[in-house]
Amino acid sequence: MTTKPNNRKPKRKAIGADLIIPALAVAFTIYYYSTVWELNWEAKADGLAIGGLLILLVAVLLVRTALQVKRGEATLGMDKLLYPLEFQGKRWGLAAAIVVFIATLPFFGFTLGLFLFMCASLLILGVRKPRPILATALSMAAGGYVLFIAVLDTRFPHGPVEYILTRIF
Per-domain residue ranges of the chain:
1-83, 84-169
Is residue 140 very low, low, confident or very high in pLDDT (cuts 50, 70, 90)? very high
The type of residue at 49 is A
Residue 155, pLDDT score: 84
Q: Mean pLDDT throughout 68-81?
A: 88
Q: Mean pLDDT throughout 5-14?
A: 70
Lowest mean pLDDT among 14-28, 74-88, 90-104: 74-88
Higher pLDDT pick, 8 / 156: 156
**Cα(32)–Cα(30) distance, rounded to whole angstroms?**
5
Residue 73, pLDDT score: 92
The per-residue pLDDT of the chain, averaged, comes to 89
Q: Is the pLDDT of residue 7 over 70?
A: no
**Cα(141)–Cα(135) distance, rounded to whole angstroms?**
10
- To the question of pTM greater than 0.75 for the whole model, the response is no
Q: Mean pLDDT throughout 133-151?
A: 94
Higher pLDDT pick, 64 / 31: 64
Q: Is 161 exposed, middle or buried (0-12, 13-18, 19+ CB in 10 A)?
A: buried
Closest CA to 117 of 134, 142, 100, 92: 100
Phi, psi of 53 (to 5 degrees): -65, -40
Higher pLDDT pick, 83 / 144: 144
Strand bridging mode 74-75 / 13-14: parallel
Cβ atoms of 114 and 125 within 8 Å: the answer is no
